[in-house]
A = this chain, B = another copy of it.
Amino acid sequence: MIEVEVKGYADDGVFERVREKFELIRKEYHEDTYFRHPCRDFAETDEALRIRVKRFDGHFEAFLTYKGPKMDTNSKTRKEIEVPISDPDRHAEILRSLGFEEVLTIEKTREKYYVDKGIVIDLDDVEGLGKFVEVECLTERSDIVEETVKKLREILESLGVKKFERRSYLELAMGKEV
């Protein structure tokens, strides 16, 4: 599965326009812990390994996610493999035993909005980084990535987004240069 994703900087105005225009799916709280590979420099290879603990509507879910390198130059499209896990603490303990080290944990609130079939907008308020808006679309087809990216950028522009961002929250938190 390919996650085609475009992210931009947001402010209260962008948040309000999304809230007025689209239907709220739910509000989630994310605690994302990122891991360093024991012998591969993820900053270099543009990969990531994450345990996400998600809380919403009284539920609790956790996922282990591998993100492959970005697949183009103007979006955040990547190969993503995600599996649900039931015991994130013990899972992290296995990763640590294998030499994966925790880099940092990023906390955010995410409001998810339904835009259109397969298209979702996330309003993210990230601790220490501020407000962002992401629009994403999952696809199996790598041949339509480019036109999808264009469409997603237009959606964000129509909402008032002026500055886009390809770096992940992890990269932004680590102060990675563009």
Partner-B contacts on A (CB < 8 A): 37-40, 47, 49, 64, 66, 68, 81-87, 90-91, 93-94, 97-99
Q: A39-B38, A49-B98, A66-B98 are in contact. Are A90 and B86 (CB under 8 A)?
A: no
Q: A81-B90, A84-B86 are in contact. Are A99 and B40 (CB under 8 A)?
A: yes
Of all chain B residues, which has the CB nearest A40? Answer: B99
Task: Return A98 CB to nearest CB of chain B, in Å.
Answer: 7
Asked if A81 contacts B68 (CB within 8 A), the reply is no
How many copies of this chain does the complex contain?
2
| A83 to B86 CA separation, bound complex (whole angstroms) | 8
Q: A39-B38, A49-B98 are in contact. Are A87 and B93 (CB under 8 A)?
A: no
Asked if B83 contacts A90 (CB within 8 A), the reply is yes
Asked if A66 contacts B99 (CB within 8 A), the reply is no
